[in-house]
Structure 1
Amino acid sequence: MPKAQETILEIDLNSLEHNYQYLRSKITPGIKMLGVVKAFAYGSDSVAIAKRLEKIGVDHFAVAYTKEGETIRVGGITKPVLVLHPQTHSFKTLIDHCLTPSLYSLHILKEFIVTAEKLNLEDYAVHININTGLNRLGFDPADIDEVISVFQNTSAIKLVGMYSHLAASEDMALRDFTKSQIVNFIATSEKIIAAFDHKIIRHLCNTSGILNYPEASFDMVRSGIGLYGYGNSTKHDSNLKPVATLKTIISQIHRIKEGESVGYNRGYIAKRDTTTATLPLGHADGISRIYGKEKTSVLINGKEAPIIGNVCMDMLMVDVTDINCKEGDEAIFFGKERSAEKFANKAGTISYELVTAISQRVKRHIIE
């Protein structure tokens, strides 16, 4: 890869395809794959990611909100797009762009039917979310009889899919809880299937579910973080390739004396004569203050340069005393050389939070 000349987020679509094929290899042929491209495709570029995934065979997509679905639809995506958290104000836009709503409560279900009937729709495809223990969104299994009745009393919408979210599929210490979720989903979904005479797709597994509970793949699986190179365990991470690499350059080098300070509020006091490098990237770009004060580091010429003091809005400083470097040299935060998971873990957070936080002012560079 060419060296950076500015702050960029490289997005390697070849790594994306590798991850997709690896995850596909873990499921039975014929099971559909849904690619999750919410939050700018986990902080990258939702249109570029979705286009490559559609080209190589993804069957469905999922986004969090209607606006995200509109973006990829306008960008050229033709496959079904599931909106996981639709809200009433966006129902008309959702329908205008042929997006599929996930209905998760009786209020949302009935309100969507009102909109669909006003627009004289027939059999508009919807999915429902069943709460099996995450307790975030979803119908309580105790309400399923009423849900079935509502569907049976309208022709405006058609139930084509149902799913639930696993709460801890990556944590083997909580295996019993995950298995209880699977059992609950099977019982509730079978009750729904028995009430209708058409095919209803079932999906439950996320990335860790695909890797750890293949027996719960049903008709379709959903992958988000795995497509972007992270399997929630070192065992699986070794088989995946990070898609995004965040890099920048050294703007300036300072040499400070023992006892001098660096940055706001004298966040770092030099314990020896120290050489620091200032990088043009800060918490407005997604590298928050939690990464400062030597909790983590960047890679400069293959060596670790700790982030010192407080991260500023547009800049941060690193210790390069023991690194042979100069102004204009490249600094890598995360990517193939060092994963976002390792960078995030050192500061007590997770790869999801880090990669989705990268600001839209950071230039995206797509590698085809």
Structure 2
Amino acid sequence: MSINHETILYVDLKALENNYNYFKKKLKSDTKIIAVVKAYAYGHGDIRIAKKLSELGVHAFWVADFEEGINLRKSGITMPIIVANPGSKSYNEIIKYNLEPIIYNFRLLDIFGENTSAISVHIKFNTGMNRYGFNADEIDLLVSKLEEYSHLKIESICSHLATSNDKSKDAFTQKQFKKFDIICKTFSKKLNITPKKHILNTAGVLRFPKQQKEMVRLGIGLYGIGGDKKLNPIGKLVSNVAQIRTLKKGEKVGYDSFFVAEKEIKIAIIPLGYADGINRKLGDRKGKVLINNASCSIIGKISMDSFMIDISGTNAKEGDLVTIFSKENLVVTIAKNLNTIAYEILATLNRRIKRVYLN
């Protein structure tokens, strides 16, 4: 463990294991888990996360692009790696590193189909999210082309839920389930194949376990976020107090002199800023951090590499540990204060932040 970095994201691999096992108990014994490790494993560090999940028995990994997949392969990951958006120029790398592209339109299908190398692929259908995927009325042409491109091995067919975490929109989610079932039956019958299927994400597994197919995709839930109190956040972001100063009434601090002390206060400067992923909207007392179990408000405007907090009434001193988020100061709460989601907070953490892995 490094002691040379003052800002560290601690990643609890035991908590990751507990979250994984919690989901396993909700699934049938033969349901396979695809672990989503895109965006640097939601900011936690893809290689160490993937290696731990490999030990736990995950079936495959889901990444955003081929470069993320190559990074995992070079680190020694041997499990299937599914590339959500392979792009139109990645064919050689996909083949070289034995990656498995998601095929979601005819342009990609022709790119991979017109090359004769045997390759495992996954076919994605649009069931209502209206993002990536073939539409149901394109099945006949899709089947015709796949019959021509017989060297493409269809490992699975999948779709993406749009509102699985929103109870008020369950009727729409049920429509997606129904549409996906129809598509799967039609597609499989026309091609005379029985590929694996997956549509459930974290919220889907937690709320609609009966809809699990042969596979499920787990992302944010593995990292301890997902609206279930039995999930444990695996990340803890800490820094320290770099400097303390006292502001007299009327004194200003930070860029644009945005904050003006209404009375004498004591402030601390923290060496962490928006370049590290600390959203500027957390300034002006919209965000809080913990020092010695005391909640302290962020004041003024957040700088690129630092921010200031009000430590009046605390016993904080220079060098003290500052917790930006943890089990006690949840990243979900921070996200709500920003009117965003925990995904964004985690995925935008700069890689210059030292990651230290526990357990």
Cα distance in 2 for residues equivalent to 1:227 and 1:282: 27
How far the C-alpha of 1:4 sits from its partner, in A, is 9.3
Equivalent pair of 2:2/2:356 in contact (CA under 8 Å): no
Identify the residue that residue 54 of structure 1 maps to in structure 2: 54
Which of 253, 256, 262 lines up with 2:253 in the alignment? 262
Which of 266, 287, 292 lines up with 1:296 in the alignment? 287
Identify the residue that residue 331 of structure 1 maps to in structure 2: 322
What TM-score, normalized to structure 2? 0.97
Identify the residue that residue 230 of structure 1 maps to in structure 2: 225
How far the C-alpha of 1:75 sits from its partner, in A, is 0.7
Residue by residue, what CA displacement relative to the aligned partner does 1:220-264 show, whole Å, maximum 9, x if unpaired?
Answer: 000100000001x2xx1x101111111000000010011111100
1:144 is the counterpart of 2:134: no
What TM-score, normalized to structure 1? 0.95
Cα distance in 1 for residues equivalent to 2:148 and 2:60: 28
How far the C-alpha of 1:89 sits from its partner, in A, is 1.2
Report matched runs for 1:41-190 at 5 Å.
Answer: 41-114=41-114, 116-117=115-116, 121-122=117-118, 124-190=119-185
Cα distance in 2 for residues equivalent to 1:149 and 1:64: 28
Aligned length: 359
Which of 301, 306, 309 lines up with 1:318 in the alignment? 309
Cα 1:39–1:145, aligned 2, differ >3 Å: closer, same or farther?
A: same
Equivalent pair of 1:254/1:275 in contact (CA under 8 Å): yes
Equivalent pair of 1:39/1:356 in contact (CA under 8 Å): yes
1:241 is the counterpart of 2:236: no
How far the C-alpha of 1:103 sits from its partner, in A, is 0.5
Equivalent pair of 1:203/1:222 in contact (CA under 8 Å): yes
How far the C-alpha of 1:23 sits from its partner, in A, is 0.9
Cα distance in 1 for residues equivalent to 2:110 and 2:193: 21
Q: Give me the CA root mean square deviation.
A: 1.4
Cα distance in 1 for residues equivalent to 2:13 and 2:199: 26
Cα distance in 2 for residues equivalent to 1:362 and 1:179: 41
Identify the residue that residue 351 of structure 1 maps to in structure 2: 342
Cα distance in 1 for residues equivalent to 2:100 and 2:28: 25
How far the C-alpha of 1:133 sits from its partner, in A, is 0.9
Equivalent pair of 1:82/1:101 in contact (CA under 8 Å): yes
Over the matched positions of the two proteins, sequence identity in percent amounts to 38
Cα distance in 2 for residues equivalent to 1:89 and 1:3: 42
Amino acid at match of 1:289: R
User: Which 4+ stretches in 1 moved above 4 angstroms?
Assistant: 1-5
Equivalent pair of 1:3/1:330 in contact (CA under 8 Å): no
Tell me the secondary structure at the aligned position of residue 183 of structure 2: helix
* Structure 2: stretches of 5+ with no match in the other structure: none
Equivalent pair of 1:160/1:199 in contact (CA under 8 Å): no
1:206 is the counterpart of 2:197: no
Identify the residue that residue 19 of structure 2 maps to in structure 1: 19
Identify the residue that residue 8 of structure 1 maps to in structure 2: 8
Amino acid at match of 1:311: I
Residue by residue, what CA displacement relative to the aligned partner does 1:74-130 show, whole Å, maximum 9, x if unpaired?
Answer: 11111111001110111211111101000011111111212x32xxx23x2100110
Cα 1:188–1:337, aligned 2, differ >3 Å: closer, same or farther?
A: same
